[in-house]
Structure 1
Amino acid sequence: MRRLSPLRLSRGLVIAGLLGGVATASGIALTTTSGWLIVRADQRPQIMLLLTTIVAVRTFGLARPVFRYWERLRSHDVALADLAERRTRTYAALIPLTPARLGTRGRADVLTGVVDDLTDVAEASVRVTVPAIGALLAGVLAAALTAVVDPRVGLVLAGMLLATAITAGAADRLESRAQAEVLAARAEVARVAQLTADHADELRSIGGTGTAAQWLRDAHATLRTAVQRQSSGRSLSAAAVLIITGAAALAAAVLASSSGAGAPVKALLVLTPVATGEALGVLTDATRSLARARASQRRLDELLGQEPAVADHGETTPPPGRARSHHPRPLDPPRLQLRGLTAGWLPGRTDVGPLDLTIEPGEHIAITGPNGSGKSTALAVLARHLDPTGGSYTIDGVEATDLDLQEVRELFAIVDDEPHVLAGTLRANVVLAAPGADDEVVIDSLRRAGLGAWLTGLPDGLDTRLGAGGLGISGGERTRLAIARAVASARPVIVLDEPVAHLDHPTAEAVLADLLHHADRRSAIMVTHHGIGLDHMDRVVMIEREGADGVQERIAG
């Protein structure tokens, strides 16, 4: 994936920045001309002498919100389009990394992190680029026009711009340094909180809730210290801008008093640094957003810059006798064969193997064994989510690594122990696995998964919304929904990775019975260490780890 900078200067952003600059300049002009008008009106001249200034004040007062609206409209259009593009590119780059390169992070963890980071990066256009262009334009205009009235005050404004730029640079360095500490502390709080919540029952059973609570308090204390340090840097930078503004206003007052100009002009000269300082104050906020965007971009680059765990060495060749299109009916399942196969999730580590295993077309087998014996690793190799480090894996007699990666993956429908329910309609949740499937296919898949009665009782049928903001479903219904997806996908091999791990025994038995009964001619490969559903299988294969080194394994059928 081509790495994208958190700051992108496009024609749309430049236009938005210029509009923002006009809005900011209008605000400065409104303040200064208002000051001139108040002082001049105090001298009680003829009203006709004030009409031009009165019109100018009204014009600047209207121009500021109008141009600000145009700027926001333009900049947000650009930012949202940029966010959509970045999300598309990131999602495409994330798919090849799943699941081997995601480490121990959960799916929700990865999703939340990526979404938040992409938002921070995309918002940099609105929060950094546009304000910087607008402040620069307004500041330069203010200094240039003031120099026409009094060159000395114009130089004061120029110095004010330079000092503010230096302050913004220093604030950026402070913010970037503090941002890394805050993010690390925040990640630790999230990790400890999730660990405590996920294992609350176990902690209560061993009396460890107090210890876990102390872990959380310590993590929050570290975060609080980091945030306070970051806030101190922000306060100093904001105070520095105010000091610069005050110094510039004082210098302008001294110079204006000795200029020999009239009182209204002196008021204008004194108010110009004050109004300009207010406009330049947005730069301190921009540095915060820039530091956050850079940190987010760095995390995205670290995640997406990894080499995928599976290399596509195939020459876009589909498996023998299989076409490149979605089939309404399952294809004939292939013959899968592992010979002396070894594989590992990390370089130099073997998590399964050497393993010999043959799965005949249409066969239903269960793979059992203790935790850590390599059951899930073997499934990952079969489904081409992990490359083998040794041995052979063939599909209908052809090396899997010589076949097109996408075509091989489309042979397998995967149901794991944590099926995800999308925040959408029931139809959308099923059609996700079978693009283009009509309602008849969706309903049939739900009935085959044992959800026929449940579907009949739904208020809106297939249009019932599930997930966040919609109907909540039980663990058994969630698993059956995942099975319905597998059935609707028409893929010839169904891979089950502890699919009923979180269900009670009767529900688990019923779910597996329904699945295997409606599997048609498809092959089914299930990993389990609970022993549930083994009676429904044609064959049970046990992987046992032997020896202290944890490498040697044997198969007992």
Structure 2
Amino acid sequence: MTQLAHRPSPPAVPDHPVTRPRTRPVTLSPGLIIAGLLGGVAAASGIALTTTSGWLIVRADEQPQILLLITAIVAVRTFGLARPVFRYWERLRSHDAALTDLAERRTSTYAVLVPLTPARLGARGRSDLLTGVVDDLTDVVDASVRVTVPVLGALVAGVGAAALTALVHPGAGLVLAGMLLAVAGVAFVADRLESRTQREVLDARAEAARVAQLTAEHADELRSIGGVNTATGWLREAHHRVRVSVARQSRGRALSAAAVLVITGVATLTTAVLAAGSDASGPVRGLLVLAPVATGEALGVLTEATRSLARARACGQRLDALLDQSPAVVEPAANDATPLRPGGTPRLAIDRLSAAWLPGRTHLGPLDLVIEPGERVAITGPNGSGKSTLLAVLARHLDPTTGTYTVDGVDVTRVPLEHVRSLIALVDDEPHVLAASLRANLALAAPGATDDLLEAALRRAGLGIWFDGLPDGLDSRLGAGGLGISGGERTRLAIARAIASDRPVILLDEPVAHLDHPTAHAVIDDLVHHVGEKSVIMVTHHGIGLERMDRIVSIPGTEG
């Protein structure tokens, strides 16, 4: 992916751990409170519908004058209509609040995530990481709809049902109150059980996904060394762990759901005994017996709410662990910042520089290197020598541990990040293609470029013939739901982005690592031929394109 300077300038970040509000899976806002009240009215309407229907059936069996049943008949119809209507209004309010919250949280989360790129994002693949952040954030926000609103609704409906039942029969009202407390206790235990197994289930699923991806990506190598059965055993073991952990979690959920049914049954039997011994009329007795049944149905949502709460809590903890990190680069204070002189290709120099991704380690250096304006330099060295780390330092994604890195003689730690990053385009070994139009893929690097400039960048990157064959030109859709694109075309598209950006320095991190030799040579030839006076620094371990470089710098292995 061609990584470019962020626009607008990123906010200043401190050189100490970032302090940010903890991710809260359960929030209260006016919109959610209103939604919870509407949900409570809908649930209460359901309880009233059941109990009033019971009263009506028993009273009708006594064959009174039809006029004596009119009020109950109208009430049944009213409650029957009120339940879906209020539920619909609750859904509108709760989802509107949740989607608004999701948009705000995504904006704030990405604002915190961007300064952590890429040094603080761990060893996970970019797509896995992005999917994880999106899914975790969605689960946290979903707790508003799946936890806050149902709990408020169940509380309103349950308390209302107990209070009204107590007006008819105090003993039955106490039974319903005890039922509420018992279900609350079950929900608390269910939350503890769910939280205890949630981490285990998530870890098991992550391991199964990791093994499956590893096996699929290296299927040919596994076949060539006869390791298919071994890899299949790893996959079988990972899935067995998933089954065991999910089964353990499901048992807790089943017990919680069963406990609510048992509580409902006990409350119903107790109320039936109390009603039978009272002097209430038959229809009223029917109403009292059905009250715990209807209330139990309304309270049944609490077990599902505890499941969502435990999941949201685990997702929030993962987000906090990711986002509560210090960025790998520090923005200089405004009063200490030194702007770069505009125009031209800069001279890059590093002096006795070392860098590390993790504290207490050394992944690069110490190293001395000067890149003159317009120079083509190849960086080689054994795996682990720090080649990609060097590019991260040059691109201002990682601060030096020791030594200095200067641009036109100015120490980069005193230059605003945006100023340095605006000079540099980075093309790595896994260029990303957006599921969007070709124009949108190029505009990512050059937002204000005209169509003529974008087309010229494609041709300079060696994609002229490919572009001429597209059905809709720059409007052709790429990626999912659009045109397929080969590995060579993907790399050339990333290079076209770098050219379109008009950045004076292009960093290449194994850009042709996954291409066949003829395609790889053609890509490097086109790049070097069309970049003009730009500086090119290419990391490689294949040796492809070295003959097109002005100089080759070999980095010795680091001690770690």
Give TM-score scaled by structure 2 length: 0.95
> What percent identity do the matched residue pairs reach?
72
Alignment correspondent of 1:251: 270
Structure 2 gap ranges (5+): 1-19
Task: State how far apart, in whole Å, the 1-side matches of 2:532 and 2:109 are.
Answer: 37
Alignment correspondent of 1:282: 301
Task: State how far apart, in whole Å, the 2-side matches of 1:203 and 1:149 are.
Answer: 74
Structure 1 gap ranges (5+): 323-330, 552-557
1:309 to 2:328 alignment: yes
Task: State how far apart, in whole Å, the 2-side matches of 1:380 and 1:258 are.
Answer: 81
Task: State how far apart, in whole Å, the 2-side matches of 1:212 and 1:102 are.
Answer: 28
1:321 to 2:314 alignment: no
Report if the CA contact (8 A) 1:445-1:484 is conserved.
yes
Task: State how far apart, in whole Å, the 1-side matches of 2:240 and 2:410 are.
Answer: 57
1:523 to 2:535 alignment: yes
Q: Deviations over 1:309-337 (max 9, x none)?
A: 11222537464213xxxxxxxx4111100
Decide which of 436, 459, 476 is 1:464's aligned counterpart.
476
Shift of 1:2: 2.9
Task: State how far apart, in whole Å, the 2-side matches of 1:253 and 1:463 are.
Answer: 71
1:503 to 2:515 alignment: yes
Report if the CA contact (8 A) 2:112-2:323 is conserved.
yes
Q: Which amino acid aligns with 2:259?
A: A
Decide which of 398, 412, 415 is 2:410's aligned counterpart.
398
SS in 2 for 1:102: coil
1:447 to 2:456 alignment: no
Q: Which amino acid aligns with 1:68?
A: R
Shift of 1:195: 1.5
Alignment correspondent of 1:325: none
Alignment correspondent of 2:381: 369
1:493 to 2:512 alignment: no
Alignment correspondent of 2:125: 106
Task: State how far apart, in whole Å, the 2-side matches of 1:88 and 1:521 are.
Answer: 38
Q: Deviations over 1:428-477 (max 9, x none)?
A: 11101112322222212112111122122111221111112221100011
Task: State how far apart, in whole Å, the 2-side matches of 1:297 and 1:268 are.
Answer: 44
Q: Deviations over 1:158-212 (max 9, x none)?
A: 1100111111001000000010110111111111112212222221121111111
Moved over 4 A (4+): none
Alignment correspondent of 1:432: 444
Alignment correspondent of 2:391: 379
Change (3 A) 1:27 1:126: same
SS in 2 for 1:50: helix
Task: State how far apart, in whole Å, the 1-side matches of 2:559 and 2:159 are.
Answer: 70
Task: State how far apart, in whole Å, the 1-side matches of 2:395 and 2:50 are.
Answer: 68
Report if the CA contact (8 A) 2:340-2:415 is conserved.
no
Alignment correspondent of 2:493: 481
Report if the CA contact (8 A) 1:314-1:405 is conserved.
no
Task: State how far apart, in whole Å, the 2-side matches of 1:2 and 1:335 are.
Answer: 41
Alignment correspondent of 2:372: 360
Shift of 1:397: 0.5
Task: State how far apart, in whole Å, the 1-side matches of 2:477 and 2:494 are.
Answer: 16
Report if the CA contact (8 A) 1:332-1:522 is conserved.
no
Task: State how far apart, in whole Å, the 2-side matches of 1:10 and 1:522 are.
Answer: 53
Q: Which amino acid aligns with 2:214?
A: L
Q: Deviations over 1:332-363 (max 9, x none)?
A: 11110011111111111111111110001111
Alignment correspondent of 1:550: 559
Task: State how far apart, in whole Å, the 2-side matches of 1:3 and 1:453 are.
Answer: 52
Decide which of 49, 60, 63 is 1:30's aligned counterpart.
49
Alpha-carbon RMSD: 1.2
Q: Which amino acid aligns with 1:6?
A: P
Report if the CA contact (8 A) 1:334-1:396 is conserved.
yes
Report if the CA contact (8 A) 2:364-2:386 is conserved.
yes
Alignment correspondent of 2:10: none
Alignment correspondent of 1:93: 112
Q: Which amino acid aligns with 1:421?
A: V
Task: State how far apart, in whole Å, the 2-side matches of 1:97 and 1:244 are.
Answer: 50
Q: Deviations over 1:489-519 (max 9, x none)?
A: 1111100000010011111111111112221
Alignment correspondent of 2:317: 298
Decide which of 217, 225, 237 is 2:244's aligned counterpart.
225
Change (3 A) 1:19 1:73: same
Report if the CA contact (8 A) 1:315-1:403 is conserved.
no
SS in 1 for 2:201: helix
Q: Which amino acid aligns with 1:157?
A: L
Alignment correspondent of 1:326: none
Q: Which amino acid aligns with 2:304?
A: D
1:332 to 2:344 alignment: yes
SS in 1 for 2:404: strand
Report if the CA contact (8 A) 2:434-2:479 is conserved.
yes
Task: State how far apart, in whole Å, the 2-side matches of 1:504 and 1:426 are.
Answer: 24
Task: State how far apart, in whole Å, the 2-side matches of 1:461 and 1:318 are.
Answer: 43
Alignment correspondent of 1:139: 158
Q: Number of residue pairs matched?
A: 540
Q: Which amino acid aligns with 2:487?
A: G
Task: State how far apart, in whole Å, the 2-side matches of 1:92 and 1:183 are.
Answer: 26
Report if the CA contact (8 A) 1:413-1:491 is conserved.
yes
Alignment correspondent of 2:69: 50
